Amino acid sequence: MTTPYPILLVEDEPHIAEGLIFNLSAEGYRVCHVTDGETALQHLETDHYALMVLDLMLPGIYGLEVCHRLRQQGDQIPILMLTARSEEQDRIAGLSMGADDYLAKPFSLKEFLLRVNAMLRRSSWSAQGSPADNGTYRFGTNSVQLTNSSATTSDGTVTLTELEVRMLDLFFTQEGQVLSRGQLLQTVWGMAPDTETRTLDNFIVRLRKYFEDDPAHPRHFLTVRGRGYRFVKTPPAT
Ligand code: CA
pLDDT at 123 over 80: no
pLDDT of residue 70: 93
In degrees and rounded to multiples of 5, residue 4 shows phi and psi of -65, -25
| Choice between 208 and 96, residue whose per-residue pLDDT is larger | 208
How many beta carbons lie within 10 A of that of residue 228, not counting itself?
17
What is the pLDDT of the chain when averaged over all its residues? 87
Give the residue-averaged pLDDT of 84-111. Answer: 80
pLDDT of residue 3: 74
Give the residue-averaged pLDDT of 26-53. Answer: 94
Element (H, E) at 51: strand 51-55
pLDDT of residue 2: 66
pLDDT at 113 over 50: yes
Q: How far apart are CA 205 and CA 212, in angstroms?
A: 10
pLDDT of residue 85: 63
Give the residue-averaged pLDDT of 53-64. Answer: 92
Question: Separation of 12 CA from ligand 1 center, angstroms?
Answer: 5
pLDDT at 157 over 70: yes
pLDDT band (50, 70, 90) for residue 198:
confident
The pTM of this model reads 0.62
Question: Separation of 229 CA from ligand 1 center, angstroms?
Answer: 35
Sequence letter at residue 19: G
Question: Separation of 35 CA from ligand 1 center, angstroms?
Answer: 9
pLDDT in tens, 132-150: 445 688 899 999 988 888 9
Give the residue-averaged pLDDT of 31-37. Answer: 97
Give the residue-averaged pLDDT of 197-206. Answer: 87
Question: Separation of 99 CA from ligand 1 center, angstroms?
Answer: 17
Say how many CA atoms lie within 13 Å of 19 toward its Cβ: 11
pLDDT of residue 131: 43
- The DSSP code for 120 is H
**Could you give the C-alpha distances from 73 to 45, 69, 122, 195, 211, in angstroms and in order?**
10, 6, 22, 32, 21
**Minimal CA–CA distance to 67: which of 47, 89, 46, 96?**
96
In degrees and rounded to multiples of 5, residue 165 shows phi and psi of -60, -45
Domains of the chain with CATH codes: 6-126 (3.40.50.2300), 133-231 (1.10.10.10)
Question: Separation of 13 CA from ligand 1 center, angstroms?
Answer: 6
Question: Separation of 67 CA from ligand 1 center, angstroms?
Answer: 15
In degrees and rounded to multiples of 5, residue 34 shows phi and psi of -130, 160
